[in-house]
Chains A and B, each alone.
Chain A
Amino acid sequence: MCFSVFLNNRNSFISIFNCGCMKLTRKILYFAPIMAMVIITNYIIDPAYIYHGYEKKIAGLLLEGKHVALTMGFTEGKILINYINNTAEKFDIIVMGSSRAMPISSSSFPGKTFHNFSVSSASLSNLIAIHELLQRNRLQYKTVIFALDPSLVFAYQPARHADLDGLYLVKRNKLLYVTSMAKHYYDFAFEILSFSYFQSSMRAYFDMKGPLDKRYYVAKNLNNNDLSIILCDGSRKWEKRYNEATKQQAREEAEKYIRKFLTGCTRTHLDAAMKHGFESLVKSLKESGADVIFWFPPYHPMVFKKYASDCPALIDAQTYYLETARKNNIRVYGSYNPDEYGFKETDFFDYHHLKNEPAYAHMVRMSRALGL
């Protein structure tokens, strides 16, 4: 019985190849124009920059001391890697952190060589990868401003920068590295056929503020910018609508965040393995001879209030960081609590990002306070 079933199915399988299935193939080929449209659109618009190596060119412009305006999203990790691999500068001050540290610019530290190596939604592994890349390229830096997001020591870590994750994993977990690279190449090969990517391409095309062949350009005017600009010091000049966001707009973003992410945050907690990883990074930074400074980026007052009352993990993280700083003789500036350093609701454009001007003023005060 078993064999006959196998035989029947095998015959069925073989018959597909022996049959005259040209008719079916021909009919399926009638849909080729649709697939061609998807492939061509995905390749040309390529909203996630999978098929076009723009990052190297952007890093090149930054190295030439130019500021770059971006009409679309881009792969931050790749720009950073390209920048680090091609610079030999000796830095007085560097910044490591997430997008919350991006507005920290050289203007707050006049006379110092400076670069901001922050990436959006930076995970601990991203920061470790950046530090290791700096070391591998023998780049020198005297002071590291380490912007501490609480999530660095939480169990859940966002995996947003495939290139940085690859750098991190290649030394630690070959299996995960191979898996992550396989996924990367799988995406490379198959996103071209993806309907979801096609829709992203269409959205990107209609959202794009500029012609298709001009996805990035050298920014001349830094004060009236409709686009986000990466300054040549690695910091970010937010687009005008962010810097001009009203108190009400920031409030709405804060309320949205509270509704969306703070629900169930009591389950978030500090993770022992992450704490260990963080302490290793701090140790490594100290061993490189740098003066490490912990900086706590503030939260929007409404969000901090909610965190303080409903989500102990935030305060736990700050307490842990302060304890680590004390043990390692590290100087600390800032607080998650905006009131402690006099931040107002109007200093934010969303639930936790400072506008450029308040960030600048805060860093000037920090520079004076810590004698940088």
Chain B
Amino acid sequence: MLGISITANLGLILVFKYAGFISVNLQALSGYLHISHPIGEVKLLMPIGISFYIFKSVSYIIDVYRKKIEPQRHFGIFALYVSFFPQLLAGPIERSTTFLPQVTKQFSYDYQRITDGLKIMAWGFFKKLVIADRLALYVDKVFASPASIEGLSLLLAAYFFTIQIYCDFSGYSDIAIGSAKILGYEGMDNFRRPYFSKTMQEFWSRWHISLSTWFRDYLYIPLGGNRVSAARRYFNVMAVFLLSGLWHGANWTFVVWGGVHGAFLLFSHATMPVRTRLKQGIFRIIGAEKNGTIKAAADSIMSLWSIIVTFNLAAFAWIFFKADSLTKAADFIKNMFKWNLGNIMVGFSFYDFLLMILSILMLVLLDFIQEHDKCRHPFTQKKDLMRWGLYYVVVLSIVFFGVFEQSKFIYFNF
């Protein structure tokens, strides 16, 4: 029964999302092998949000099978869980174990809950409208024709997209979580400032948490998790990341993106002993083992270095995610390393460019404060003046600098 349920759910996603991809690749393969195959190109309209609600359904089925939750016999409540509107289009992929118990609880008006929800939503709108959509103007222009651009513009576009996708998706998640909160539902965190990660492993514990934990709980652990041989474990990690890439879209660029992340993790794991010894060696040479001040300084520098390296690795992988095709991604990477200051503005005015940089700085500043204060949200300053000043800055930034003509959220495509 479990097999039938999972197959039925994944069958839907296979048909609607991947049938076209499979048919195109079969055609290409048969052409390459000079054999004929009867299936023409399949073109189906993909139901919006299918990747998200199918994963919610599958997690529910497995949780019921594992007796983590009682089967929900009320169709309306089950339908509410699967199609809960704040999370319908792009997640977070909420677990039934946390969501369903909330449906039947008694709701009442709660000032604190509603204002908390509104604050989270406002921050989400700021990230989406002021940062992500403004950076998208530059990113889309450069990624449209990477073959005709060289050097710094491409590097900048890669960094900008790294910030854009974070603000776009975490912005959406904040809006979803905030609106669910106003309605009385607590949602799971989906992002925890991922670009402050010191390793790729840490990155995946902070990025799209609802998806990464889904793959961990329903694929990686059933495959054996960490309790298998090293070779099998490496295979499992790579399989999970390739599938995670494919989940994002029916295109080889996403598969490669997943593969690159898998490779980063394997490399990180395989070289961990060497890197640890290297770090200990350096600490010994500079005398950090005996001097607390030097150790603290060295630790800070190492942390900063690790953050920079992880950020750059993530930015490199995002090139495959954003590019329309592998050829364009290859052009992008090839031209990125040609040293050419060229026209870095690519047609944008100094004012536009300044706005992009300022919006990124504001994000970094607020994320940095949050990272170090460990507070849930930048709007939780104690002093009224500070807090209201920040509200006004955020709202006025949206009013003056928000981009309202830009496209939908990136993750609506998946």
Contact = CB atoms under 8 A, between A and B. Distances in A.
Given A1-B74, A8-B104, A195-B404, 13 more contacts: A2-B74, A5-B74, A12-B108, A16-B109, A21-B109, A21-B111, A24-B115, A34-B392, A34-B395, A196-B404, A198-B399, A199-B400, A199-B402
B373 interface: no
Contacts of B405: 196
A195 B106 contact: no
Interface of B: 74, 76-77, 103-109, 111, 114-115, 184, 388, 391-392, 395-396, 398-400, 402, 404-405
A4 interface: yes
Contact of A11 (B76, B107, B400): B107
A38 interface: yes
A330 to B, nearest CB: 42
Given A2-B74, A34-B399, A195-B402, A27 B115 contact: yes
Given A34-B396, A195-B404, A4 B108 contact: no
Nearest to B107: A12
B104 A4 contact: yes
Instruction: Give the dominant DSSP class at B's interface.
Output: helix
Interface in A1-51: 1-2, 4-5, 8-9, 11-12, 15-16, 18-19, 21, 23-24, 27, 30-31, 34, 38
Interface of A: 1-2, 4-5, 8-9, 11-12, 15-16, 18-19, 21, 23-24, 27, 30-31, 34, 38, 195-196, 198-199, 202
Contacts of B74: 1-2, 5
Given A5-B77, A196-B405, A11 B108 contact: yes
Contacts of B77: 1, 5
A260 to B, nearest CB: 11
B399 A195 contact: yes
Contacts of A199: 400, 402, 404
A24 B111 contact: yes
B115 A9 contact: no
Nearest to A23: B111
Nearest to A37: B399
In the A-B complex, list the 6 residue pairs whose CB atoms are closest, starting with the nearest: A12-B107, A19-B109, A196-B404, A15-B109, A195-B399, A1-B74
A15 B106 CA distance: 11
Nearest to B398: A195
22 contacts: A1-B74, A1-B104, A2-B74, A2-B76, A5-B74, A5-B76, A5-B103, A5-B104, A11-B108, A12-B107, A12-B108, A19-B108, A21-B111, A30-B388, A31-B391, A31-B395, A34-B395, A34-B396, A195-B402, A196-B404, A196-B405, A198-B399
Contacts of A15: 107-109
A18 B400 CA distance: 36
A9 B80 CA distance: 13
Contact of B107 (A8, A23, A34): A8
